Amino acid sequence: MCELFGMSSDHPVAASQELNEFRLRGGQTADNPDGWGLAWWENGTFHLSKEPIPAHQSALFAQLCGTTRSNLIIAHVRKAKFPPIRAMSNTHPFQQMCCGKEWVFAHNGMVPDIVDIELSNDNPVCRPMGETDSEHAFCHLLGHIAQHFHSLPSADTTT
């Protein structure tokens, strides 16, 4: 099954050792050889790098392990099951714009029923680029967020 790595801090930190150990779980120390992705927050925006190759074989991922400094990091190593296709479009994390904000999503597990739900739904907010149930779930969530976005209280509202 896919694996996730997440880190959140009040200030930018390097997670070189932790990321490198996680990178090895992408086909060397664990059976997740079907792609990897790394998203991190820097200068007010998300940056995203990913490849549909085993993480432990990726020179790019190895380089990013040593250079990434952030207060928010999301990484994913994939074991392709739904669908069992190794492709860039099926590699997590996924990134979309919704409600004027950037969203990044990675998922571990299976939710195959969501695919039929989303395929029958004309979701104007998000269209999956790939075929994974995870990306369909991401679009499903963004669709619901968009429906309620204007009714949500703003974080900078003072009372």
> Can you give the three-state secondary structure of the chain, one letter per residue?
CCEEEEEEEEEEEECHHHHHHHHHCCCCCCCCCCCEEEEEEECCEEEEEEECCCHHHCHHHHHHHHHCEEEEEEEEECCCCCCCCCCHHHCCCEEEEECCEEEEECCCCCCCHHHHHHHCCCCCCCCCCCCCHHHHHHHHHHHHHHHHHHHCCCCCCCC
Q: Dump pLDDT digits (tens) for 2-57.
A: 999 999 999 999 999 999 999 999 999 999 999 999 999 999 999 999 999 999 99
Query: Out of 2, 65, 126, 139, which one is annotated catalytic?
Result: 2
Predicted TM-score of the model (pTM): 0.89
Q: Dump pLDDT digits (tens) for 55-96.
A: 999 999 999 999 999 999 999 999 998 889 999 999 999 999
Full set of structural domains in the chain with CATH: 3-150 (3.60.20.10)
2 is catalytic: yes
